[in-house]
Chains A and B, each alone.
Chain A
Amino acid sequence: MKRLDSKRKEAIAAYLFMAPNLLGLLIFLIGPMLYAFYVSLHHWDIITEMRWAGFENYLNAFQDSAWWNSLLKTLIYTAVFVPSLYILSLSLALLVHGMPKFSGAFRTIFFLPVIISPAISGVIWKYLMEDKVGLLNQILDFFGIAGVPWITDTDWALYSMILVGLWLVMGFYMIIFLAGLQDIPKEYYEAATIDGADFWKSFRHITLPNLRHTSVFVIVMTVIGSFQVFDQIKVMTNGGPVDATKLSVLYIFDTSFTLYNMGYASALSFCLFIIIILFTLLQFKLLRNDET
């Protein structure tokens, strides 16, 4: 009886500690999500009363070629962004890890973009990428290279957005990888060197396998992040030129705040939500499966 009591007390204490957070999640996350689902079952232009629509909005989404286009652009963005980010931030982490003397300075420099709001960074990058007087093209001009239409060309715009996206978060994931790298015992590398392994062999057989959990985290987070990318694109191109950068969240934003079609926008948000969940589950299955 005594053991049950103390265990029960522990359990209650645990629930009480979790309660504020859980309550917060329920009220500020789950609650609004339920309301958004409710709105998605209606036609609503914000100003007049809601009209029942059933699943009409979801059916319309299936037939909306502009929505599918935005999903395609989001997929392209993700397919290029995620591997690039992985390689970039891992390289930065290896660089910083290998130079302990300057690591403090480097960590600060690479992490700085993370603390600037994406919207503000977007405004700055918009000026940097300006066709005639932007700094990037002026630098290219100095080396005799023709200017690039970074954000005014339908082919370049998406990749420029990827560049800005990488700049914004590479510092954050560098820190994540650094933590993972620092957890790998030095003895492994020493043993490998004794056995005659070069950098690449150590990297493939020691570093990467030991970074498995970190890698899963980075990949899952960056996929979710790129499906939700919005701030800097909204500020820099607003989905243009000619919808070249109209990714899913931008399409949803336009549907809700330009066309005032709240019901449909809520339905699209749920579609995106489900897509992200499916992708995440798929990743968990693929990336964690061979854990023996």
Chain B
Amino acid sequence: MKAWSKFVTIALSLVIIASMFAGCSKENASSDSNEKVTLEYWRIDSSDQLNAIWKKTVEEWNTNHPESQINLTFVPATEYGQKLATAFASEKGPDIFNISPGEFMKYAGTGVIHPVDKWVEKSKDDYYDYALEGNKVNGKVMAFSQGLDLMGLFYNKELFEKNNIQPPTTWQETLDAAKKLATDKRYGISFTTKQGYVQNFELYPLFWMNGSELIKDGKVDVNNDGTRKALQYLRDLMSSGVADKSSEDTSIDDFAAGNTAMMFTGSWQVGILKDKYPNFKYGVIPYPVPAAGMKTSSDAGGWKVVISAKGKNPDRAGDAIDWMMNQNLERNVEMVKAASQFPVKKSVLKAAGNYYDSYPFDVFRDSILPNAHLEPSFSPEVVKAIGDAIQKALFSNTPIDEIVKTLEQECNKAVQAK
């Protein structure tokens, strides 16, 4: 027994000591200007073209800057959020990374991101105001951005023409069109039904069009008719049976295959549709309005690039990203085109020439962009609360008033906790 208990004591102490070291932080590498440093750059795995342009750009930088080497990694979309969080948890976060507006506040609001004012200062007049505002936290610019993703209503042109239906302009027309076109093998309309910031991103305009900002400048404004109308419309769409009950952003394949007649989705699909389904005829219109005469709206998102304040050398990282994203007009145009996005800088829009004249980009540029509303950067608790409300509206029988009351409570809780 003595040998056994001795063994156990020693082993346990070793384990406990080892676990304590797991929590220790590593010493930061010195920022000696001549020391070679390798910076980790994580990007979300996107379209082949966009990935290829970034690979080329990083190679160019690496060839000309042996002292600041960048290691570019593409991470699948489904794992991105978790991989990023766990990397930071174990102090192995990347030096430079992509971030969605939905997750931006999570990192920007907690001091993990290094401000980028000094690089953006010189070209700040070139940016559209709202684009720069969306990257600011407490007055400091915290992210580099390239382009905007815009939401619209995509519809199957052939189906509409065959059934003699006009593209809808109001919510009622949309519901009617969906009912006419739904069959037992086809849905009338689809949008992301899985809870998360993507679903919120697609559906925010329904709230905005009725004047409900949900949360603005830290103030909760949820208990209003706008919220109720939006939730009721979602419930009408789903309960009528014409909406796909389990659809995701990746269901663009379903849309192109004719399994759904309409889809709320974004400008990034234009490139994907051109690549995968070049012969598929589809149209794009702005989000239909709640009632005739009202103004349409659209969500303007777009992933940003940020510098980690905990990285090996934030200064060099900033230099690199600035060079790659802001100092070559031709390349900037290429990047925005490859992402099917709309540029945030006036010079890039000009340099793109008549690229945005082609259909459906002209619809986005002329009818959707002017009415665009930046994607809000809500905290995860608020994103969840809004998502819960949407889920209940779509899939339960809870009265709308009750849903709105709970939403208000949860938003208040989340805002006060800050």
For the complex, give the distance between the alpha carbons of A239 and B3 in Å. Answer: 50
Q: Are A46 and B395 in contact (CB under 8 A)?
A: no
For the complex, give the distance between the alpha carbons of A149 and B395 in Å. Answer: 12
Q: Are A260 and B185 in contact (CB under 8 A)?
A: no
For the complex, give the distance between the alpha carbons of A154 and B396 in Å. Answer: 8
Judged by a CB distance under 8 angstroms, whether A278 is at the interface is no
Q: Are B19 and A260 in contact (CB under 8 A)?
A: no
Identity of the chain B residue whose Cβ is nearest the Cβ of A131 in the assembled complex: B245
Q: Are B195 and A152 in contact (CB under 8 A)?
A: no
Q: Are B184 and A242 in contact (CB under 8 A)?
A: no
Q: Are B112 and A47 in contact (CB under 8 A)?
A: yes
Chain B interface main SS type: helix
Chain A interface size, as a band, is 35 or more
Judged by a CB distance under 8 angstroms, whether B380 is at the interface is yes
Identity of the chain B residue whose Cβ is nearest the Cβ of A236 in the assembled complex: B246
The 0/1 profile, CB within 8 Å of B marked 1, for residues 26-51 of chain A is 11001110110010000001111000
Q: Are A31 and B110 in contact (CB under 8 A)?
A: no
A-B interface pairs (CB < 8 A), number: 94
With contacts A22-B11, A27-B18, A47-B107 taken as known, whether A241 is within 8 angstroms of B3 at the C-beta atoms is no
Judged by a CB distance under 8 angstroms, whether A240 is at the interface is yes
Q: Are A132 and B185 in contact (CB under 8 A)?
A: yes
With contacts A22-B11, A130-B246, A131-B245 taken as known, whether A45 is within 8 angstroms of B187 at the C-beta atoms is no
Q: Are B110 and A154 in contact (CB under 8 A)?
A: no
Q: Are B85 and A47 in contact (CB under 8 A)?
A: yes
Judged by a CB distance under 8 angstroms, whether B89 is at the interface is yes
B78 to chain A, nearest CB (A): 10
Judged by a CB distance under 8 angstroms, whether A62 is at the interface is no
Q: Are A238 and B194 in contact (CB under 8 A)?
A: yes
Q: Are B88 and A23 in contact (CB under 8 A)?
A: no
CB-defined contacts of A241 to chain B, threshold 8 Å: 245, 391, 394-396
For the complex, give the distance between the alpha carbons of A132 and B107 in Å. Answer: 41
With contacts A31-B18, A132-B187, A240-B194 taken as known, whether A152 is within 8 angstroms of B246 at the C-beta atoms is yes
Judged by a CB distance under 8 angstroms, whether B186 is at the interface is yes
The 0/1 profile, CB within 8 Å of A marked 1, for residues 5-20 of chain B is 0010001100110110
B395 to chain A, nearest CB (A): 4
CB-defined contacts of B23 to chain A, threshold 8 Å: 35, 38
In A1-59, the 8 Å CB interface with B consists of 11-12, 15, 22-23, 26-27, 30-32, 34-35, 38, 45-48
With contacts A26-B15, A46-B89, A154-B395 taken as known, whether A126 is within 8 angstroms of B246 at the C-beta atoms is yes
Which of B15, B89, B186, B380 meets A27, CB within 8 Å? B15
With contacts A22-B11, A27-B18, A30-B15 taken as known, whether A240 is within 8 angstroms of B85 at the C-beta atoms is no
With contacts A23-B11, A240-B395 taken as known, whether A132 is within 8 angstroms of B186 at the C-beta atoms is yes
CB-defined contacts of A259 to chain B, threshold 8 Å: 380-381, 384
Q: Are A152 and B106 in contact (CB under 8 A)?
A: no
Chain A interface main SS type: loop
For the complex, give the distance between the alpha carbons of A258 and B18 in Å. Answer: 29
With contacts A31-B18, A126-B246, A130-B246 taken as known, whether A48 is within 8 angstroms of B85 at the C-beta atoms is no
For the complex, give the distance between the alpha carbons of A46 and B22 in Å. Answer: 14
A36 to chain B, nearest CB (A): 10
For the complex, give the distance between the alpha carbons of A111 and B86 in Å. Answer: 35
CB-defined contacts of A258 to chain B, threshold 8 Å: 196, 380, 384
A178 to chain B, nearest CB (A): 37
Judged by a CB distance under 8 angstroms, whether B392 is at the interface is yes
For the complex, give the distance between the alpha carbons of A172 and B396 in Å. Answer: 37
Q: Are B195 and A238 in contact (CB under 8 A)?
A: yes
CB-defined contacts of A154 to chain B, threshold 8 Å: 395-396
Residue of A11, A126, A243, A260 with most partner-chain B CB within 10 A: A260
Q: Are A257 and B81 in contact (CB under 8 A)?
A: yes
Judged by a CB distance under 8 angstroms, whether A151 is at the interface is yes
Judged by a CB distance under 8 angstroms, whether A115 is at the interface is no
Which of A38, A47, A257 meets B88, CB within 8 Å? A47
Which of B15, B86, B110, B392 meets A242, CB within 8 Å? B392
Q: Are A46 and B396 in contact (CB under 8 A)?
A: no
Q: Are A35 and B85 in contact (CB under 8 A)?
A: no
Q: Are A257 and B245 in contact (CB under 8 A)?
A: no
Judged by a CB distance under 8 angstroms, whether A271 is at the interface is no
CB-defined contacts of B186 to chain A, threshold 8 Å: 132
Residue of A35, A46, A133 with most partner-chain B CB within 10 A: A46
Identity of the chain A residue whose Cβ is nearest the Cβ of B259 in the assembled complex: A133
CB-defined contacts of B22 to chain A, threshold 8 Å: 35
Q: Are A26 and B12 in contact (CB under 8 A)?
A: yes
Q: Are B246 and A48 in contact (CB under 8 A)?
A: no
Identity of the chain B residue whose Cβ is nearest the Cβ of A157 in the assembled complex: B395
The 0/1 profile, CB within 8 Å of A marked 1, for residues 97-130 of chain B is 0000000001100111000000000000000000
CB-defined contacts of B85 to chain A, threshold 8 Å: 46-47, 257, 260
CB-defined contacts of A254 to chain B, threshold 8 Å: 384
Identity of the chain A residue whose Cβ is nearest the Cβ of B393 in the assembled complex: A242
With contacts A35-B19, A152-B395, A257-B82 taken as known, whether A132 is within 8 angstroms of B184 at the C-beta atoms is yes
For the complex, give the distance between the alpha carbons of A126 and B82 in Å. Answer: 23
Which of A34, A149, A243 meets B245, CB within 8 Å? A149
With contacts A260-B106, A260-B380 taken as known, whether A48 is within 8 angstroms of B111 at the C-beta atoms is yes
Known: A47-B88, A133-B185, A151-B246. 18 other contacts (CB 8 A): A26-B12, A26-B15, A27-B15, A32-B19, A45-B110, A47-B85, A47-B106, A47-B112, A126-B246, A131-B246, A132-B259, A239-B195, A240-B391, A241-B394, A254-B384, A257-B82, A259-B384, A260-B85
A sample of 10 cross-chain residue pairs with beta-carbon separation below 8 angstroms, ordered by A number, consists of: A15-B7, A47-B85, A47-B106, A126-B246, A131-B246, A152-B245, A239-B195, A240-B194, A243-B391, A257-B82
Chain A residues with a Cβ under 8 A of chain B: 11-12, 15, 22-23, 26-27, 30-32, 34-35, 38, 45-48, 126, 130-133, 149, 151-152, 154, 238-243, 254, 257-260, 262
Q: 3 tightest CB-CB pairs across the interface, nearest first?
A: A152-B245, A241-B395, A46-B89
